[in-house]
Amino acid sequence: MHCFTVKKYTMKVQKSIEHYPAKEQATLRVIKDKILEYVQPLIIYCVTCVSTTEREWSCFSHTRRRKEWTFECDLLLVLPNDAIIDETTKKTMVEQTAAFGEVTLTIHPIDYVVQQIKEGSVFFCGARDGAVVLYEKDNATKLLTVTV
């Protein structure tokens, strides 16, 4: 007779990067700092983060060890309404963060983000409710609390 146990898991919303391994934490901090050199956002959300480590070894050879690490993340930058980011600045930010992996930037002014949340946008509501906050200026996330 086989006995199976089913466990129910609930996903805990993480608001900091402390649950990531050290290498991912360090990478996200450096990426955040690079972005802050070029723009002054109100909020930087980490919407997705994927890293993979590949190691190869064999019991027959001690010299064949290889370690590869890849990193990808999608960030949402919420800017003040009067901030203007031209394509050159966005391109520079992507180039400056490319050494750490593939970084995709989505950039919008706060009024647009609030409007999208009011309209029930899955992306913006999901980012507000579940994304990790990498940077926040002056409690800006409170500005995204929308009552309908």
Task: Flag whether pLDDT at 5 surpasses 50.
Answer: no
Alpha-carbon gap, residue 25 to 22, rounded angstroms:
5
Q: Other C-beta atoms within 10 Å of 126: how many?
A: 13
pLDDT higher than threshold 80 for residue 10: no
Q: If pLDDT is split at 50, 70 and 90, which confidence band does 98 have?
A: confident
> Of 1.10.3210, 3.30.1490, 3.40.390, 3.30.460, which CATH number belongs to 22-144?
3.30.460
Which pLDDT belongs to residue 25? 86
For the segment 86-102, the average pLDDT, to the nearest whole number, is 88
- Domain residue limits, the chain: 22-144
Which band of pLDDT confidence, cut at 50, 70 and 90, is reported for residue 12? very low
